[in-house]
Structure 1
């Protein structure tokens, strides 16, 4: 940290002034010694040379430090302003601009950054406009989407719930046969039946969650999410903690995409997380929509578990976020839950 500090622009200015002081001192000392050796004037003695150079070095060092510090202040402020601007662009705030009065290279770079921000902002608008067009196209192709969704749910029912129900039947029959002969074994088998039934029930709830309407049907985003959570709380033991701003002014496309992202996330939590608490926060700050979803479930290794079933849902959520020009970040680890952070410019 200290090394980085002494390599900053301000200390570079101070070092350059001190380097100039060193060169001036050597030059001045060489001239005085040359005059002293060649002409030996009475007023130019070795003591006077030493005293003069000592006073010169002390005064010049103080002046060099002061002027180096003051002259670098403006440069440092301008560089800090450009650094803040780049950080704002990285966070998706493309409306921020900076303007310098000077007509130099830094002013030219600042103007180019402002142009870059304008282009990025236009690209975000284009992405959102394309998302609107895609939403219109999706509505026109609603029948085809319904058929495809039915086929997908039919496959999931066959692959998950149907097999679990078949296993339940087999275990129940086995427990019935062992009930009189081996009651302890029958008890354990009935406990396994209970666990499998709970898993099948959770899987079914997650599938039913996908059968909900894609659109909010006239409700605001807050109303739609609250209705969804109330329904899930009646059917699952999960404690949902909502924090949603009352006044959220969003376009229909953004609301529908965010609602589907929340649906997909809650479906993943129901099917895979085994969580007891879910925090969901939606707020708008500085023309950006922030969506945070956290659960205290099993978690997983984001870098390794790319073949998990949850990866498909995460990919869908990421694609929906990027269609709106937003950013999607997921953090998770085993036994520490999962965190999803989404930022969408609006």
Structure 2
């Protein structure tokens, strides 16, 4: 059994060791904390750079898609209107004033339609119809282009026109998601009917697209990581902390529901 003096000496030595080691542990803790803080800052900066790069890429893709739509519209719509105007004017026989008057009237009507279409295209070129006026208007414009193809029976419910919040960065990604889904339907689905529903609830934006095409095996396609733009869709949804619910069956069709925290 230790004597009281020995016990006191041991306690003094232990207290001294603790007193000496505490600053060492404190310094180590501060260093680890600062290292973790620096790594966190670097990680946040890298994530911001990746997000900004993806936003820029998305903006370029949206603009490219818009330019393709404009080119198609110029060729298929405005071009046809002007061709019809030219044919009508060239067929005018000035000796038959009554018929000539009707053809001139028709030509003026065709020119008026052409001017209206060109004005709409000019707005689109200036970005007024993309995301500047809100995601509801941007989606409406995209659906308008799809409607003009006349290839699908469209059922649309767009409740995003009057929402009081906005997020331009997310709007770009949401618009690109819709464009990518529509492109996949055009390329792969062989659908005749497309239903598009958009709405806002509980600080979340919902985008639902349903079509009656040939469908596919979602699990197999996802596992292969090829085709149909699914990887790109998943990547974009993950970027904005969204959720994807996809239900597809061969010969029945596909339903996609995207839920996004907004703004």
Q: Using structure 1 for the length normalisation, give the TM-score.
A: 0.39
How far apart in 2 are the matches of 1:242 and 1:224?
14
State the match for 2:22 in structure 1.
none
Question: In structure 1, how many angstroms separate the alpha carbons of the residues matched to 2:241 and 2:227?
Answer: 23
User: What are the within-5 Å matches in structure 2 for residues 61-76 of structure 1?
Assistant: none
Kept in 2: contact 1:135–1:253 (CA 8 A)? no
For residues 256 and 58 of structure 2, the distance between their equivalents in structure 1, rounded to whole angstroms, comes to 29
Unpaired stretches in structure 2, ≥5 consecutive residues: 1-42, 69-124
Looking at structure 2, the residues matched to 265 and 333 of structure 1 have their Cα atoms a distance apart, in angstroms, of: 16
Q: Does 1:227 align with 2:141?
A: yes
Larger Rg: 1
Give the direction of change, closer, same or farther, for the CA distance of 1:276–1:304 in structure 2 (3 Å limit). same
- 2:88 corresponds to: none
Q: What is the alpha-carbon distance in structure 2 between the residues aligned to residue 342 and residue 223 of structure 1?
A: 18
Q: Match for residue 344 of structure 1?
A: 260
Is the 2:131–2:172 contact (alpha carbons within 8 Å) kept by the matching residues of 1?
A: no
Q: Quick one: structure 1 residues 287 and 235, their matched pair in 2 at CA, closer, same or farther if it must change by over 3 Å?
A: same
Aligned match of 2:213: 297
Residue 130 of structure 1: how far off its partner (Å):
8.3
- Once residues 141 and 298 of structure 1 are traced to their aligned partners in structure 2, the CA distance between those partners, rounded to angstroms, is 31
For the structure 1 residues 131 and 281, does the alpha-carbon distance in structure 2 shift closer, same or farther, using more than 3 Å as the test? farther
CA-CA distance at 1:295 after TM superposition: 0.5
State how far apart, in whole Å, the 2-side matches of 1:343 and 1:331 are: 14
CA 1:345–1:134 in structure 2 vs 1: closer, same or farther (change >3 Å)? same
Conserved? CA contact 2:55–2:172, under 8 Å: no
2:152 to 235, 238, 259: 238
Give the gaps of 5 or more residues in structure 1. 1-125, 154-211
> Is the 2:204–2:259 contact (alpha carbons within 8 Å) kept by the matching residues of 1?
yes
2:175 corresponding residue in structure 1: 259
Deviates more, 1:256-265 or 1:224-233: 224-233
Q: 1-side partners of 2:137 and 2:248: how far apart?
A: 29
Instruction: Judge conservation of contact 1:131–1:253 (CA < 8 Å) in 2.
Output: no
More strand per residue? 2
The match for 1:247 is 162
Paired with 2:58 and 2:255, the residues of 1 have a C-alpha distance of: 32
Sort the Cα spacing of 1:259 and 1:141 in 2 relative to 1 into closer, same or farther, 3 A.
closer
TM-score by length of 2: 0.50
The offset of 1:131, in angstroms, is: 7.8
Counterpart secondary structure, 1:303: helix
Q: The residue matched to 2:182 in structure 1 has which SS?
A: helix
